[in-house]
Structure formats: structure tokens, C-alpha cells
Amino acid sequence: ILYRFAKLCGMDTTQAGMAIREYADFDSIPSYAGTAMDWAVNAGVLQGSNNCLMPNESCTRAQIVTFLYRICSGK
């Protein structure tokens, strides 16, 4: 959702890199979410926890607020 929002707002979503592959649970990221997760990590929106991205876990309200803050403030 955040990736699509960023594209809709005209934000640069072409950021790419290998940082996402450094997370221990990289292999559990669904193929359809790879591009968006890659962008979120490289843009600093998603930082993970304990070297894991936890792509199959639910997010808390606090985590969602943090993601929104990071995407809207460019942090």
C-alpha cells in the first residue's frame, strides 16, 4: 500500500539495492511483494527488527504510524 501511495504521489520509487537480501527472512517475502519491500527498505520506510523484515507478521498501530511518518517526512 505504501509503495503504491508513493508512486501515486510522484515519489521516487526506483530506489533499488541489495539491502533487502541482508535480512535473515528475505526468502519468506512473497514474490509479488518483492519490489515494494525492496523500495521500502532502501527508502528507509521499513527497517525490520533483529535482522528480520517479518513479511508474514501483522503490524501494530505504532509500526504503521512509524511507516507513515517515514514516508511522509522523507526519513
CB 24 within 8 A of CB 51: yes
pLDDT value for 75: 54
The distance from CA 4 to its chain's CA centroid, rounded to whole angstroms, is: 12
pLDDT value for 30: 93
Residue from 39, 28, 33 nearest 6 by CA: 39
pLDDT value for 18: 72
CB 3 within 8 A of CB 40: yes
Distance CA 47, CA 20 (A): 10
Mean pLDDT by 10 residues, the chain (75 residues): 90 79 93 90 90 92 93 76
pLDDT value for 16: 65
Number of other residues whose CB lies within 10 A of the CB of residue 4: 10
pLDDT value for 51: 93
